[in-house]
Amino acid sequence: MITSGLQIYQAYARFGNRGAPPFPSPFDGAQFPAWSRLGGWLAGALNWHFALMWPLVTVGLLYLGYLVGSGEWRALLFRPRDVRGAFEMTRYYLRLRKDHPPQGKHNPLQKLAYTSIYLFGALAVLTGLSIYKPVQFAWLTALFGGFQAARYWHFWIVWIFVAFTIVHVILVFTVDPASLRAMLTGRYRGRFPSHD
Amino acid sequence: MTRSSDRRGFLKLAAGASTASLAAACGWDGGNALRPGLLDISRLNDWVGEKILFSGTRLARTYSPAERSAQLPSYFISADMPLLENPHRWRLRVDGLVRQPLELSLDELTRMPRVTYTVKHHCVEGWSAIATWHGVPVSAMVERCQPLAAAKYIRFVSFDSDYSNGWDMASALHPQTILAYGMNDNALPAAHGAPLRLYSPTKLGYKMTKYLVSMTFTDKRPGGYWEDQGYPWFAGI
């Protein structure tokens, strides 16, 4: 989705109506390197993007259904009562606190990250829908501030995903490389270090 | 867990990741193996767009003339701007599966029902611009030429080399689908398809045939200049 999206972006590498000043963006007029783009040209990229949207939404909904059905959502959802814990955890990371605060499966900062990445996932799909069918879903496009603003948000969410993935994988290697396999297979042998 | 199985897992992951980045490299369009599959999914998306998401009565938002954009790019596929040698001889031909084939001059078109609106133009490239258009609703033309029940599509043909488009009947009958002979209160400029072009705010720009010469009612889905090269056929927004 990201690589074909970068190819699509290439066709009009800015945000804002024709003849109007563009929205502020460090990527204004940017050309992304060929290796990062999928599709070859606009039509090829659109076909990839509009094919991959189906598995993206399907897997997203299946996973959401699993979280709700299995009760796993409780371990992931950041709730108001986690605010204090998130504060303590931040203090611990900043070395303002010596002992690791007690936690369940995930600490409050992890919950915050996992909850927000799900919200960003939903936003990626909704902003996408609003620029795919801006007339049929005019209310949604208007909610995001219009067609060009919706393009703008759709594009920015990508960088949040990229940053999240990089930090996520770095942390996996820092804490426990074996959990990388667990992410892909769903199985983890032994006891997870942070649960001790 | 042993060290070697750890390494094996990592290698497997690396292999998967490099396949994905290889796919991205050199702008891969799916190759001969995947391209047909991608086009099949594009047809599925056309079906979803046409039969589920499109509404024949939902109108695109209109703007005030004061909100018009300072510019609206246009293009043609011929080497030079397509111009009529003798504009007075130009006629729009309406034929195919119709009870009443027609040949209409620009004068006759201007005497037919007229729709004017200021709407946002969406290009497949991602840009948008607001302009005012006026012309005859395609639905008025349909009333006049009386298509047969078998007619499911309209093929719009231009005098800009071999540029053409195929439309589904529901999109063509949408109240905002017009044969435009005017733009921003003036006669349609040559750059935007004079003397007559198709216009609709519910489609991407490339579906709106410029430099029109004919509209043919048919029972077979007509291709189009960009559509035949892989761009989505329905292109309704």
> What pLDDT, in 10s, does the model give residues B168-193?
999 999 999 999 999 999 999 999 99
Q: Is A146 within 8 Å of A140 (Cβ atoms)?
A: no
The verdict on A135 touching B (C-beta cutoff 8 Å) is yes
State whether A190 and B71 contact (CB < 8 Å): no
- Measured CA to CA, the distance from residue A116 to residue B131 in angstroms comes to 39
The verdict on A188 touching B (C-beta cutoff 8 Å) is no
Q: Which DSSP helix (H) or strand (E) runs through B7? A: helix B3-24
User: Residue B1 — pLDDT band, cuts 50, 70, 90?
Assistant: very low
Distance from CA of A91 to the nearest CA of B (A): 33
Q: Which of B53, B130, B229 sits opposite A133 (nearest CB)?
A: B53
- Measured CA to CA, the distance from residue A175 to residue A171 in angstroms comes to 6
User: Residue A85 — pLDDT band, cuts 50, 70, 90?
Assistant: very high
User: Residue B6 — pLDDT band, cuts 50, 70, 90?
Assistant: low
The verdict on A96 touching B (C-beta cutoff 8 Å) is no
Cα distances (Å, whole numbers) of residue A87 to A70, A74, A99, A115, A194: 29, 20, 14, 16, 19
Residues of B in contact with A177 (CB under 8 A): 6, 10
Closest-CA residue of chain B to A184: B13
State whether B39 and A47 contact (CB < 8 Å): yes
Q: What is the pLDDT of residue A182?
A: 81
Distance from CA of B26 to the nearest CA of A (A): 6
Q: Tell me: the pLDDT tens digits for A112-140?
A: 999 999 999 999 999 999 999 999 999 99
Q: What residue type is A67 in one-letter code?
A: L
State whether A43 and B30 contact (CB < 8 Å): no
Q: What is the pLDDT of residue B14?
A: 55
Distance from CA of A36 to the nearest CA of B (A): 6
Q: Is A22 within 8 Å of A15 (Cβ atoms)?
A: yes
Cα distances (Å, whole numbers) of residue A173 to A50, A176, B17, B146, B169: 33, 6, 16, 70, 57
Distance from CA of B87 to the nearest CA of A (A): 31
The verdict on A3 touching B (C-beta cutoff 8 Å) is yes
State whether A35 and B26 contact (CB < 8 Å): yes
Top residue of B2, B11, B125, B174 to mutate, by most chain A CBs within 10 Å, is: B125
**Does this complex have an ipTM over 0.90?**
no
Q: Is B155 within 8 Å of B222 (Cβ atoms)?
A: yes
Q: Is A2 within 8 Å of A162 (Cβ atoms)?
A: yes
Place of tokens 């007619």: B151
Distance from CA of B1 to the nearest CA of A (A): 8
> Average of pLDDT values for B37-64?
97
Q: Is A124 within 8 Å of A164 (Cβ atoms)?
A: no
Q: Tell me: the pLDDT tens digits for A165-195?
A: 999 889 888 887 877 888 788 777 766 655 5
Write the CB contacts of B132 (distance below 8 Å, at least 6 apart in sequence).
Answer: B65, B68, B116, B117, B118, B183, B184, B185
Q: What is the DSSP letter of B98?
A: B
Q: Is B35 within 8 Å of A43 (Cβ atoms)?
A: no
Q: Which of B21, B69, B236 sits opposite A17 (nearest CB)?
A: B69
Q: Tell me: the pLDDT tens digits for B189-209?
A: 999 999 999 999 999 999 999
> What does the buried/exposed string (b/e) look like for A105-137 if buried means 16 or more CB atoms within 10 Å of the residue's CB?
ebbbbbbbbbbeebebbebbbbbbbbbbbbbbb
